[in-house]
Structures are given as structure tokens and as C-alpha cells.
Amino acid sequence: MLTVRDVVRIAPNELVFVTPQALADLYGSHNKNLELFPKTQINNHGNDEHGGIIWEWDPVRHRKVAKQLSPAFSGRALRAKEPTLHRYIDLFVERMKALGGGAHGPPYLSLLSDFNKAVVVIQMSWRFPLLSPLKYLFLLFKAMRPHSHIRDHSRQQLEQRIRRKGAVEHLDFFEQLIPEDREPPKDRKEMRHLEQVAGQLLVAGYEPPAMWFYFTIYHLLKEPVILKTLTEEIRTAFESYSDITSGAAASLPYLTACLKESLRVMPNVLTGMPVVSPGAVVDGTFIPKGVICQSSPFALARSPRNFYEPLHFRPERWLPEEHPLYDTRFADDNRKGFHPFSQGPRMCAGKEIAWWQSRVFIAKVLWTFDLEMVSGHQINMDRDLKGWGLYDKPELPSFQRAIQQGDDGRPRLVDDAAIPSLPSGFVLVKTSAVALNPTDHKIVKNFPIPGAYVGTDFSGTVVRAADDVDSDALKPGTMVSGAAFGFAPVHRQANGAFAEYVRAPADLLLRVPPSSPDKDTIGPLEAATLSTSIATCLLALWSPDALGLPGTPDSPDVSDKPVPVLVYGGSTATGTIAVQLLRLSGYDPIATCSLRNFELVRGRGASAVFEYSAPNVAAEIKARTGGRLKYVLDCISDADSVAICYGAIQRAGGRYVSLERVPDELLAKRRAVRPTFVLAAEVSGAEIRLGQEGYDRPASREKHELAVRCMDMFQRLLDAGRLRAHPIEVLEGGLQGVMRGLDILAAGGVSGKKLVAAVD
């Protein structure tokens, strides 16, 4: 007998049941050809004809199509298809080996992810006939288009299949519907029916199995002990990869248990299949004729009345009692409520092939790879997953780990930071590595902004791009290097490099070239060091209000005698980039640094290097340049560096660029020298407001346009291996290591290297 807890009325004439017996009464049958509770038209979108197979509401028509298709799903047919299925699973494994996280699925993935949203609108139009005309307005929305895309694609593939007749590359599921010896259908009604069958097989055969694989791997990665146990079972059973077959994989009890548990925790279909009561008893209660009924597989599988620890992934519940890992805590589980492929006349025809694919897929993946979760804390299916009839795989988590400024302005590592939004012209990047700049701790110390994210330099892979971004140049999976200027008001909200996700302006990103034995290339850690240094250099060297040098790597200076340019602090990250750019631009770079970093700076292209602590260093530089030093980039920018730089500049004066604000009294000592202070964030073109004299900057379209032009040049230098990254020192521990690195920077404990960390 049903209780209040066993049934929920979701509409005046519609009930949802959550008991195993109700599931059997609604969908099961003593006679597999008899449907006591016929299906409603809701899945057929209110169309009396052409329902295909899955959405066909008429029991007679459904039985006819199922009978036609059943030979395609027989054991004999599956054995004939086995080589083809192995080939595609093997191809997936090879792609994982070659591309790892950068591999992309076919376009149907995104189509089917939105497909169930479209179905919601169509079904609602059937439930509320007066609103039915409004469904055509939804065709203007992107989420509705996959429905027509799948229909059109199914029609095209069907027409090609008919033209080929028996000339197919491998056996498919239309052998019985369009046999080689039969004339192709010409009747439009029959063609419409076949189109429906094709589209429904596409939806059922692609998305649910893919989600089954996805959820199984997810739960295994979240449970390392279970993953280890299953991996050992697979590798013990198979001496080689080629030994893995469907029959052999079916004999592995723990593999089957893990797959069953994945289906229980995350059933492939979220909603029940509505049926119509003929006036019959459901779990001991009479339901009047015409009442729409369904059972919720999700609620059944997660009910504590049916399963012990229902919200936990526990494969042991499915093991036979004689198995050494069998756990008696699960002895009272009510498995009658577990029918992930439905039951009775409407049971999924592809059940056996789904099991075959899943066992072989998981076995081959775990035999080949040692898997572990990367940033597993950020993924929580119960929190992040969305679904209608089917699931939408979460493209992004709801929250991330990030370093934020607390209420006191000090940096702190949090687990519930928001994912950055994506305004026009920006891309969202999954961070691979970050680099620490002196600016990162100075901004936090001197310009606290509670809630602001910390960090500037990063490398990572593109996850998503705004609609106005060039999708070919920055498609998902592209490795990029960039900077997030979190202290500029336009970028301030929920954005900084020291996070798992970061957004950046697309036109200021550099693509990281693939590794090559023929030229100097950089990896993700080295790539993370580039962007702030490059932004600083392009402003300092080529902005008209800074040094304003005419020569560039694309158009080098052609003076008879190379013009000297002093880089004070040549062993800093900005200094080593500046020295290289000056050399490539036809200038004579000279530099200062500590004695231990001489070889580093010389190796980057400096023609002369001076120890900055030498008592007469200004005079030595003046002598080396013949008293004609006009241009100076000061990467240290303190009282001592100003004095040395000003002392080395020619008598006629020149230009001096600092990377920090220098007191006016120091700069006033030589009126013939024009000083400028640059901020790397100016390349964004956005207004900068830090609330302190000298640090606020107006928006500047000119500086942004200069940066965009220079980025094209820098990309060519990187692609050609002509620009080398600064030496790095790797911090262990991911973002926790970054927290330690900020303390090291604050203490002045870095020289000649850039602190970097992999974000794991």
C-alpha cells in the first residue's frame, strides 16, 4: 500500500511513484509483448505519427519496430560488430595518450548537451496547448537549435545509407530496417519514421553511454582505494592490452560492480517515462483511468529505504557473497528498484551493447593509464551537475580554489571563490601554472582591495571564449600565456592569476608553441613567466611617452654604431626580456646586476654587464658608452638605482623609465632627463585607480593598440624560438606553494630566478 512518502502529485492529473513495486507495476509485464500502462504522447512531442522507437507511444507500432530492430542487438550481431567497437575504443585510448586533456569530442557532444533543454520546451508546449505557438520563438535561442541539427543530420545520414545499400564499411543497426535486397523506402511517411529511428538511436547511443563512462571515471578518481582495487583486478586478469575482450571483461566482478554502482548513483535518465493508467492497481492502490504516472529512477536509487549509504559510491553492494570484498552492510539493499535500462516491453534494446562498451572501455583505460584526480576538490557532481531529461556535463565547476585578499587585505587561500565571468573580448583559461612577480605582494601590501583575487602571470588552456573572439586562434584546448590585472577596476571582480580559472583579454594572449627539437621552446611553467615582463617592456621601450625607441625586432635600428641602452637590474625577469628585445631591435644592451648573475645576463644578449654595487659603476657605464647613453630602463627603481642611472646618462640628457614611482626630489636633480613610470597593466587600455598619487592612470586606447600590435610580433618571436623565458624556481604544493612564495618575495629572497608553481 502506498504512503504519502511513496507518491508525489506533480500536476492535477500526474503522479510520480518512488517504490520498487510501483516501478514493476508501471513498466513491467508478465507478457513482454503487453503494455498494461501505455506510454503517453509527451515523449513523441504530441505527434500521432512517426514516433520512431523510443518516443513511439502506440504499443502496436512500437512492438513492430522493436521486432525489426531486435536482430541488430542480438548476441550474434554484437559479436559481428565487436572489431568495430574495439577499434573506436582503441582510437580513444591512443588519443588520450597523444593529447591528454587537450582532446576534443565530436560536435554531437555539445549538440546533445543542449538537446534535452530543447525537449523540455517541446514537451511543455504539449502540456499547455494554448502556449504551443510560443515554442517557435524559442528557435531564436541557441539551446533550441540542437533539436533541428540532430534531425537534419539524421536525415542526411539516412539518405546516404539508403544510397549505399549494402556497401557499408561495417555492420550497423539499419541492416534489418534497410536490408540490401529490399527497395529503399520512397513513401514520405516511412522516411519520416526512419529519420525518427535514426535520430533516437543517435541520442540514446551517444549521450547515455558517454555519461556512464564519464561518471564511472569520476567516481573512481574520487575514491582512490576503489580505483586501486579495480585497476589491480583488471591488470591481474589481462597480461596484455590485446587480451581484453567483451567476454573476458564480463567475468570481472569488481568491474561490473563499479559500473552498476555508477549507474545507481548517477542513472542515465533523470526523469521517469510517463505512462497512462488504464484503471489499474499500482503498489496496492487503485489508480483511475487516464491518470498519468511515472517512476523516478533517480529518487529510487538514492532512497535510504532502498539502499544503505545511498549517496556514497560503494561497489561492494553489488558483489556476490562469496567475493572477499563483499560487505554485509549492504545485504538488505532492495535491488528491485534498480532498473537503469527500464524493464518490460520498453526495456532498452541497447542494454547488452551498453554493458559491452562500458566494460571494455573502463578495462582498456585502466589497463593503460595510471589515473589520479587533478584538482579533484573543484568537481562536485551533486553541486555542479545540471540535468533535464539527460544530464548536462558541467563545463565548469560552480566554485574554485583561489588566493583572495581577506578583509584585512592579506592574501588567503579559499575553496569557494567564484569562477570569473566572461565579458566581450575575453577568454576563460584553466590555469596550468602561475608565476610570482614583486608586484603581486606589493599590490596586496600597499593597495589592499578586500575580496580581490591575487596574481598576474599565468599559463593554461583555453576553456571558453566570448562570442566575439576568434574561435580558430583561441579554440578550447589552446595553451596560452597571459596576465590578469586584477587591480584595474574593469578586471577587479573575481579575477586573478592565482586561481584555477582566470579570464584575460584575448588580444593580449600569447599562444604557447608546441615543443620542437629544432628550436628553443618553452613549457607551461616557463610560459607563465612571460606576460607581465613583455607588457612592461613594450610600454617602456616603444611607448612614445617612455623611451620611444624607433627600432623593433620586426624593424631593427640601422644606426652605423648601435645605440646603447642601459637595463638596470638586468637579471630581473623584465630585465632579461628587455635585453633580448633590445638586441633583436638592433640596439647595444648593457646591464647591471649582481656578480653571480653575470652569465645569465650575458647569455641573454648584453654586450657589457656591470656590478651594481661597484663604487664607480656610473662612471664605468659612462666610459663604456663613450658618454652617449641616452636611454635607461630601471627595473629596480630605488634611490641607489636612480642615482646610478642619472649619473650614467649623457650630459645632454635623455630618457629614464622606472617600474616603480620614484620620489620627485630624486628625479629633479637633472632637468635634462625625462623620467617616466610605467605600469604593465596599462596595456589593457583600462582605467587604473589605486587611490595613490602616481599610480592612477586614465584609460588609454593608444597603449592598448600598441600592445596588440606588439603581441603579434612577440608571437612570431616565440614561434621561431627567438625569445627565451627567465630561469625558474618551482614551488611545490600548487596554490599553497604560491602562498609561501609571496612570503619569499616579501622578504627579498629571489635573485636571477622567477618563482613559479603548477596549479594542480
From residue 509, alpha-carbon distances to 2, 63, 334 in Å are: 62, 58, 55
Rounded to whole angstroms, the Cα distance separating 394 from 383 reads 10
pLDDT on residue 568: 98
Helix axes 188-222, 59-69, angle to 10 degrees: 70
pLDDT (average), residues 189-195: 69
Q: How large is the average pLDDT for residues 175-198?
A: 66
The pLDDT of residue 498 is above 90: yes
Q: Which stretch of DSSP H or E encloses residue 35?
A: none
CATH number of the domain located at residue range(s) 396-526+737-758 in this protein: 3.90.180.10
pLDDT surpassing 60 at residue 116: no
Band (pLDDT 50/70/90 cuts) for residue 516 is low
Instruction: Please state, in angstroms and rounded to a whole number, the distance separating the CA atoms of residues 20 and 295.
Output: 9
* pTM metric for this prediction: 0.62
What secondary structure letter does DSSP report for 485?
-
The helix (H) or strand (E) run that includes residue 222 is helix 188-222
> Average pLDDT of 12-22?
90
Task: Please report, for the chain, the start and end positions of each structural domain, with discontinuous segments joined by +.
Answer: 69-97+106-391, 396-526+737-758, 527-734
Convert the pLDDT of each residue in 701-756 to its tens digit.
Answer: 999 999 999 999 999 999 999 999 999 999 999 999 999 999 998 888 888 899 99
**The domain made up of 527-734 is a member of CATH 3.50.50.60:** no
The per-residue pLDDT for 202 is 66
pLDDT of residue 105: 35
The DSSP element (H or E) to which 456 belongs, if any, is none
pLDDT of residue 102: 37
- What pLDDT is recorded for position 473? 83
Residues in the chain: 760
Q: What are phi and psi of 433, to 5 degrees?
A: -150, 155
* pLDDT for position 602: 97
DSSP 546-600: TT--S--SSS----SSPPEEEEETTTSHHHHHHHHHHHHTT-EEEEEE-GGGHHH
Residue 34's pLDDT band, with cuts at 50, 70 and 90, is: low
248-278 pLDDT, tens digit each:
999 999 999 999 999 999 887 777 788 889 9
In the DSSP assignment, the letter for residue 507 is G
Which CATH class name applies to 69-97+106-391? mainly alpha
Residues 644 and 612 sit within 8 Å (Cβ to Cβ): yes
pLDDT of residue 120: 58
- Tell me: pLDDT of 538 over 50: yes
Band (pLDDT 50/70/90 cuts) for residue 328 is very high
Q: How far apart are CA 416 and CA 402, in angstroms?
A: 8
Confidence of residue 585 (pLDDT cuts 50, 70, 90): very high
